[in-house]
A and B are shown apart, each in its own frame.
Chain A
Amino acid sequence: MAGLSPGRYALRRLLVGVLQVFAVATAVFLLTEALPGDAAVALAGDNPDPARIEQIRRVMRLDQPLAERFADWLGGLFRFDLGVSLVSQRPVTAFLTDGLAPTMLLAALTLLVLVPVAVLLGVVAAVREGSPLDRAVTTVSVGLHAIPEFALAIVLVAVFGVQLRWLPPTAVGVGDNLLRQPAVLVLPLVVLLARPICSISRLVRAGMIEALHADYVRHARRLGLSPGRVRLRHALPNAVAAAVPQLAHTTDWLLGGVIVVEAVFVIPGLGTTLVDAVAARDLPVVQGLVVFFAVTTVLVNLVADIVSFRLSPRTEVVR
């Protein structure tokens, strides 16, 4: 995309993002229609007593025409009205606002630690390419990269929470303000960081190695600039630019990871809310949370694409 100004690019990218959110909202709505047979009966699940079916039908207004319900669903999204829970009749938005704080705290802290640590590891490994340190970092990151969060979490809890008793094994009894007892956050953060640190540091390493072998870096060295300055001011920005889209992709993982980590450590966030709603087949709550997570994912990717466009406008970012 030669000659595309950052502003135009941002606008185009924003349009795509809006379309994506619209598509997800539509798909999430239509899933109700995809339920086999009577949706209310299907959602009632194991205890299909007529009163409950009737109640589900009323709450989800299944007796009204499809087009009308769809218009209401989309209109509701704009007014931040996502319907009410099938189980407790509470508005879905109340679930969202309740669970938001712990989940956001976990995600924000993870990203805060992730970026510097991953970049540092990648750079150190790249500068000493081929050294034992580099090989150790690479091997560990290849291995750690694939571990499901729950398995890692439970092993860490067993070692540090139960055997050594250094850290609290769960967040039970802390309430929603996790910062009041920061020790609770250590294990969840370690678990959330394990996978993304591996993937990002590998990308930074690869980008850094490529940059260090590039002509402009060689040229800068010949000009007599100090090695540290060459690495930090010239090679590093290009290496990081390559990792930014992946960083955005990591948020996808992070959201998935948060769901599992909250379940393991009993943290009352959006993940726990979601898992409970899935178990209860509480479709409106699940739909609302999915739309919320989708908007977040689309937003993060949007920002990342615009940032990496600014960092290196030569390449159009295709996800």
Chain B
Amino acid sequence: MTRWLRWTAGIVLTGVPLLLAIAGPWLVDGSPTRKRAFSSGADHPLGTDFVGRDVWQQVLLGGRTVLLVALLATALAYVVAVPWGIAAALGRRRFVDELLMRPLDVVLALPSLLLLLLLATIAPSGSLTLVGIVALLNLPGLTRIVRAAALEIGSRPAVEAMRLQGEGWWRITVGYVARSMLRTLAADLGTRFTGALYLVASASFLGVGVPPDASDWAVMVDRNRPGLFVQPWAVIAPALLIVALSVGVNLLFDRVLAARSRSDLRGAAS
């Protein structure tokens, strides 16, 4: 019963913001009209924002960038980290491993949000920059996971057998090692994505990498703060959507992992 409840909670909490973020921009009708800032009225269910735009319309428009930047950053991190980690683990020489892994330690020596702010100071602002920075911040952790998994898989008898059989490097690494670690990577995906979402939203809130009047949930929270006393929905609605999305995604991935480890146990028992 509670399990059912947790699934539903995860799905609803993820689904609502996800739906708004994806379908929202298509639901916006008409061009934005400017009214008085922080006013409310019958034609504005959630009132108006700091420059007098309709809050509901901004909510519909504002999810896409947050979601897209977080998704792209996560994907980019995987694309770079998987070959990097495998190369470090399966390289013939020890110094290659050191050479590949040590530079990443520098990134780990700094709090991620701090590094994000530092890089944003010198990089040209824009969504793509944010994608690159957030991907870079996720790189060390992910590469370590990949490397650890590749080390374990690379020492399996199956790999030894493939080598003896004269299989090529490509078939062994991509065909076997990379494929075998898919489960490990899938287990990491949930936290990786919520981590990226966290960084992207926090950066946008602090005004990094986004124009100050962008239609973006995190930017809305920041810019509409002065109106918190008169027109709280302009702040609360986007903040709640971000909260729901992060909580939902986390709950959902937790459930999926739990369900899978249960079915693994059953499989091992039979």
Interface residues of A (CB under 8 A from B): 20-21, 23-24, 27-28, 31-32, 34-36, 42, 135, 139, 142-152, 154-155, 157-158, 162-163, 169, 251-253, 255-257, 259-260, 263, 274-275, 277-279, 281, 283, 286-287, 289-290, 293-294, 297-298, 319
B207: A residues at CB distance < 8 A: 275, 279
A35: B residues at CB distance < 8 A: 122
Contact (Cβ within 8 A) A283 B121 = yes
How far apart are the CA atoms of A298 and B232 in the complex, in Å? 41
Q: Which 8 A-B pairs have the closest CB atoms?
A: A256-B113, A146-B194, A146-B246, A143-B247, A255-B111, A252-B111, A151-B242, A146-B250
Residue among B105, B118, B206 with the highest chain A CB neighbour number at 10 A: B118
Contact (Cβ within 8 A) B250 A283 = no
In the complex, how many angstroms separate the beta carbon of B251 from the nearest chain A beta carbon? 5
How far apart are the CA atoms of A162 and B235 in the complex, in Å? 12
Which residues of B from 243 to 264 have beta carbons under 8 Å from A? 243, 246-247, 249-251, 254
Contact (Cβ within 8 A) A148 B117 = no
Number of A-B contacts (CB under 8 A): 148
Contact (Cβ within 8 A) B122 A283 = yes
Given contacts A148-B202, A256-B202, contact A158 B113 (CB under 8 A): no
Given contacts A27-B106, A147-B246, A260-B205, contact A155 B111 (CB under 8 A): no
In the complex, how many angstroms separate the beta carbon of B254 from the nearest chain A beta carbon? 5
How far apart are the CA atoms of A28 and B121 in the complex, in Å? 12
Contact (Cβ within 8 A) A150 B201 = yes
Contact (Cβ within 8 A) B229 A259 = no
B61: A residues at CB distance < 8 A: none
A257: B residues at CB distance < 8 A: 113
16 A-B contacts, Cβ less than 8 Å apart?
A31-B122, A142-B254, A146-B198, A146-B249, A148-B202, A148-B242, A150-B201, A150-B205, A151-B201, A151-B240, A154-B228, A158-B232, A162-B229, A256-B114, A278-B117, A286-B121
How far apart are the CA atoms of A293 and B110 in the complex, in Å? 7
Q: Which among B106, B114, B208, B225 is the interface contact of A154 at CB below 8 angstroms?
A: B225
B46 at the interface (CB under 8 A from A): no
B218: A residues at CB distance < 8 A: 148, 150-151
**Additional A-B contacts beyond A139-B251, A277-B121 (18; CB < 8 A):** A23-B105, A23-B106, A31-B119, A32-B122, A35-B122, A143-B250, A144-B247, A146-B198, A151-B242, A154-B228, A157-B228, A253-B111, A256-B111, A256-B112, A257-B113, A283-B122, A286-B121, A290-B118
Contact (Cβ within 8 A) A290 B110 = yes
A252: B residues at CB distance < 8 A: 110-112
In the complex, how many angstroms separate the beta carbon of B263 from the nearest chain A beta carbon? 19
Q: How many residues of B contact A (CB 8 A)?
A: 49
B5-40 near A? 1/0 per residue, CB < 8 Å: 010000000000000000000000000000000000
Q: Which among B106, B119, B221, B225 is the interface contact of A24 at CB below 8 angstroms?
A: B106
How far apart are the CA atoms of A244 and B150 in the complex, in Å? 27
How far apart are the CA atoms of A277 and B112 in the complex, in Å? 17
How far apart are the CA atoms of A23 and B108 in the complex, in Å? 11
B181 at the interface (CB under 8 A from A): no
B236 at the interface (CB under 8 A from A): yes
Given contacts A139-B251, A281-B121, contact A150 B236 (CB under 8 A): no
B225: A residues at CB distance < 8 A: 154
Given contacts A154-B239, A162-B229, contact A148 B201 (CB under 8 A): yes
A286: B residues at CB distance < 8 A: 117-118, 121
Given contacts A146-B198, A151-B221, A256-B114, contact A298 B109 (CB under 8 A): yes
How far apart are the CA atoms of A42 and B121 in the complex, in Å? 10
In the complex, how many angstroms separate the beta carbon of B196 from the nearest chain A beta carbon? 11
B76 at the interface (CB under 8 A from A): no
How far apart are the CA atoms of A157 and B108 in the complex, in Å? 32
How far apart are the CA atoms of A281 and B218 in the complex, in Å? 21
How far apart are the CA atoms of A151 and B238 in the complex, in Å? 8
Given contacts A24-B110, A155-B236, A252-B111, contact A275 B206 (CB under 8 A): yes
